[in-house]
Chain A
Amino acid sequence: MSASIKDRLSTLKTTISKKPHIVVETQICDTKCPHQCTTYVCPAKCYEIRDGKMLFQYEDCIECGTCLYACDQGAVSWNYPESGHGVTFPMG
C-alpha cells in the first residue's frame, strides 16, 4: 500500500532549474551537526547520508520549507526556484 518516495513524487509535475535553489553546506552536517535531521524530516528525501557524508539534491524538492525551519546549524541556504521552475501540485 505504501509507495516509495520516488513513486509518490512522480505524481507531481516539476520543472527543474539548472540552478540549485537551496544550497547546503554539507561540511556542517558532516562535522558538527548532532542530528542530521534533514535526512528524516524532509518529505521528499532530498537529503541522504552516503559513505558517511551528507548528500543533498534539489531536483526532487517540493518547496515545503521543512529544512528551512528544521536545520538549526546554519547549513541550509533556502530559496525558491527561479521564476517558472519548481513543483506544481495538480490538486494541492
Chain B
Amino acid sequence: MEEEKFDCIIVGGGVAGTAAAYVLAQNGAKILLVEKGEWTGSKNVSGGVIWGPTVWEIFPELINSIENPPYERFINRRRLSFMSEASSFSIDFHSEEFSSAPYNGVSVLRSRFDKWLGEQVEEAIAASDYAEDSLVATSILVDELVNENGRVCGIRCGEDIFYSDSVILAEGVNNLLTRSCGLMDDSYEAELVGTGIKEVWQFDRDLLESRFQLEGRSGVSNEFVGCTEGVEGGGFVYTNLDTISIGLVLGLKTLRDSGKAVYDILDSFKAHPSIKPILQGGKMVEYSAHVVPVGDIRLVPKQLYKDGVLVVGDAAGLLMNTGKSIEGMNLAMESGRQAALAVLRAKKQGDFSSKTLGSYQESLAQTFVLKDMNNFQGAVKFLHQPAMFKSYPNLVNQIMKNLFVADGEPKRKTRQIIQDCISESDLSYWDVLKTSLWGGAAL
C-alpha cells in the first residue's frame, strides 16, 4: 500500500458516518469512509424513525426522491399506548401538518436507507476534486487506530495502514475504538444501555394501509409502555411501506436483574390482545437486535475529541429520551455534520490538534443534540422508576376501564373512580402525587 494521506477517515457507514462523509466530500476534503459490512447499512439496525429536519438539511436530495424514496413512510400519526395485561389506553395524534415534506419523521429500514446514504456519499465524492482519491470502502473492519506522538493519525485494517489528518469515529454503540483511544473508559455499563429486539413483518400493502388507516405513503409510529413484564423499557410498532417493525427496547441492567429472556418478553408483547390482531395475515421476514444508548448523559464522554480524532453518534452515547419521544438517528447525523465542519475548519487552519477539533464540541453544544440531552436528564431518571413499567400503566388502564364500564352498578364520579383505583393499586396517593409533579417538571 503506497502511503497516501486522507484529510479524514470516517469509521462506520451508519447515519452519523455517512452524514460526516457527505459534508466533507461536498466541501473539498479527501476522505475514506470505512464500513465493516458488505454495504453501508448492511449491519445496521434501528427501530426506527428518523425525526426532525437534520436528515433533510444534510441530504437535500431526499426531497427530490419523493417519487421513490429510500425511506419507508412519513409519520403523520403518533400514538402512545399504556398497557396492562388485558387492556390498553392510547393517546393518538394525527395531523395534516405532519403530511408534507420535509417530514417531521420518516420510518426507515436501515439496511436500505443507509445504503442510499452511502450512494449519496459516492456521488458527492465523484463530483469532488478527489473523485479518484476519496472512497467508500466496504467489507473492511478497522482493527485499531494508529497513533504517532500521542495523536491519532490513521487506521490499521489487517496488514494495511491508512493515514489521515483526522479520524471520525462513527462505529456505533459497540465502540471498541472509541474506548481504545481513551475517549471513553473501558467499563461497559449495562445501566447506560438497552437491548433493542425487533421483528419485521410483511403484509399485503393494501391490507397494511387499511389496517392502519394509511393513505399513500403516510405512516404511524406507536410506542408502548407497560408491555415489558415490569422490565424497564417499552415497545414500538412502526409502519413501513409493506412491512411493520415491531419490537422492544429493554434496559439492560433491569433485564439482567429480572432473569427473563429477552425473546420471551417480545413474544408476550406480540401476544397481547391489542397487538395480536395487528400481526394477523402477516409473515415474519426478519429478526434483529442491537444495543442502544438510553439517553443517560453519563455515557457521553466529557470530551468528544482528542488530537486527530472525534467521536459521533451512538459511539458517543448520543440519544435523547424525553418520555414523549426517543430520538437517536437525528442526533447522530447532527453530530456527524458538526464533526465534519470542525475537520474542515482544522484543514483550513492546517491544525488537527485537539485545540482546533475542540470547536466540534463547542458547536455541538449550541445545537439541539447536547441541549436536549442535558435538558432531559430529569426525564431519563423519571422514566427509570420501576413503577413506570407496571404500576402506572396498570393504574391508567384500571381508571379507564372504570370510566367506560357499564356493569349495572350505580356510576361513580370520575374523582371517586380515580381515588378507588389508586387505593386498590400498589401505589400510594403520595406516590401518585409526587410522580405527577415530578413528571410535569421532568418531561
Contacts and interface: CB of A to CB of B under 8 A. Distances in A.
Contacts of B174: 63, 65, 68, 78, 80
Interface string A64-92: 11101110100000111111101111111
A2 B267 contact: yes
B158 interface: yes
A40 B260 contact: yes
A16 interface: no
Given A69-B193, A91-B109, A92-B114, A12 B288 contact: yes
Interface residues of B, number: 53
Secondary structure at chain B's binding surface: helix, strand, loop or mixed? mixed
B38 A83 contact: no
Contact of B45 (A37, A69, A89): A89
B42 interface: yes
A19 B133 CA distance: 33
Nearest to B45: A92
A23 to B, nearest CB: 14
A47 B287 CA distance: 18
Contact of A12 (B276, B284, B286, B290): B286
A89 B291 contact: no
Contact of A62 (B141, B263, B288): B288
B291 A64 contact: yes
Contact of B111 (A3, A5, A70, A90): A90
A1 B271 contact: yes
B37 interface: yes
B54 to A, nearest CB: 19
Interface string B159-176: 000000000000001101
Nearest to A15: B38
From A9, A43, A84, A87, name the one whose CB has the most chain B CB atoms within 10 angstroms. Answer: A43
B262 A43 contact: yes
A72 B187 CA distance: 9
Contacts of B173: 65
A91 B287 CA distance: 10
Nearest to B268: A2
A11 B287 contact: yes
Secondary structure at chain A's binding surface: helix, strand, loop or mixed? loop
Contacts of B112: 91-92
Nearest to B285: A11
A41 B262 contact: yes
A35 interface: yes
Contacts of A41: 195, 252, 255-256, 261-262
A44 interface: yes
B286 A83 contact: no
Contacts of B306: none
B191 to A, nearest CB: 9
B217 interface: no
Contacts of B284: 3, 8, 11
A90 B289 contact: no
B289 A44 contact: yes
A42 B386 CA distance: 22
A36 to B, nearest CB: 10
Contacts of A3: 284, 287
A79 B109 contact: no
Given A86-B36, A91-B109, 12 more contacts: A1-B270, A8-B284, A11-B286, A37-B256, A43-B197, A62-B289, A68-B174, A69-B188, A70-B256, A80-B174, A89-B288, A92-B45
26 contacts: A3-B287, A5-B263, A8-B287, A11-B287, A35-B256, A37-B255, A37-B256, A41-B262, A43-B263, A43-B289, A45-B263, A66-B262, A66-B289, A70-B195, A78-B174, A83-B36, A83-B140, A84-B38, A86-B36, A88-B38, A89-B44, A89-B110, A89-B111, A91-B200, A92-B42, A92-B113
Query: Which are the 7 A-B pairs with shortest beta-carbon distances?
Result: A92-B111, A92-B110, A8-B287, A43-B289, A65-B291, A65-B174, A40-B261
